[in-house]
Amino acid sequence: MSHAALPRRLSLADLRRQVQAGQRLAMLAVYDATTAGLAERAGVDALLVGDSLAQTVQGHPTTLPASLKAMVYHTRCVVRGSTRALVLADLPFGSFEASPAAAFAAAARLLEAGAQMVKIEGGAPWVVETVAFLTARHVPVCAHLGLTPQAIHELGGYRVQGRGAGAATRLADQARALAAAGAAMLVLECVPRALAARITAEVDILTIGIGAGPDTHGQVLVAWDLLGLTPPPRPRFVRDFLAQAGSAEAAVRAYVEAVRAGTFPTAVESYGEGADPAAG
């Protein structure tokens, strides 16, 4: 087969052009070939192989037990099941903290498995340094701020982050630092809508929200959540798209259409500065 005949996946440049043209991005966290193919047929732009597989697939209470070996395995599955969507994969807990060199070694394994980008949680100075180390070595990076599940024991639970002027300023400063270090995308999880809008306006990179309101460049949900498979209580930003859709593919298509139209998430599915501290 010639290179010209090979299917071409969406690139970061393609996603940027979509946003510049006024189109919101739809991302879905998936872990297997079948769901990846279904999501792609429904029009999803990007597939995230998330360390949430520790919870949804393996039954753990947190994302912490997700191993690099498991992330590589599931990345290969997702890549085999899709041909068009951009694929990114999480650097799991324990794979990048020791040093930037350790992060590069882990990222290289994920890229060898077919990922086009890696996602790394946190905005501390050492994470910024690691992002700069990776991007200088041709590893595209998606940063992740707000509720960072790998820090769940430090955070004390699944709680909205960035409330109050001081906390909001810290997150905005971290976002700018990560963008300056070379991150090309930023996931904002469980932060007030106004803060997500502010960060999106202040950084010149793609922003993807999950529990961050509708003002980011795109949205991401876990496929299990979108399909109503996650047992209650569910986070307020989760919508069961299968309930009215009739099939799994139609449900994902409804999600994509709602993201594109700006009807997901709604104000009720977003967080403000009020007193609803839990992200659940």
Q: Which of 154, 189, 269, 273 is catalytic?
A: 189
Task: Using alpha carbons, select from 22, 18, 40, 20 the residue that is nearest to residue 30.
Answer: 40
148 DSSP 8-state letter: -
Cis status of the peptide bond prior to 265, with omega within 30 of 0: yes
Residue whose tokens read 């929200």? 209
Task: Using alpha carbons, select from 253, 263, 277 the residue that is nearest to residue 45.
Answer: 253
188 beta partners = 145, 209
In the chain, how many H helices and how many E strands?
12, 8
- Is residue 97 part of the annotated active site? The answer reads no
Phi, psi of 188 (to 5 degrees): -115, 115
Catalytic positions = 189
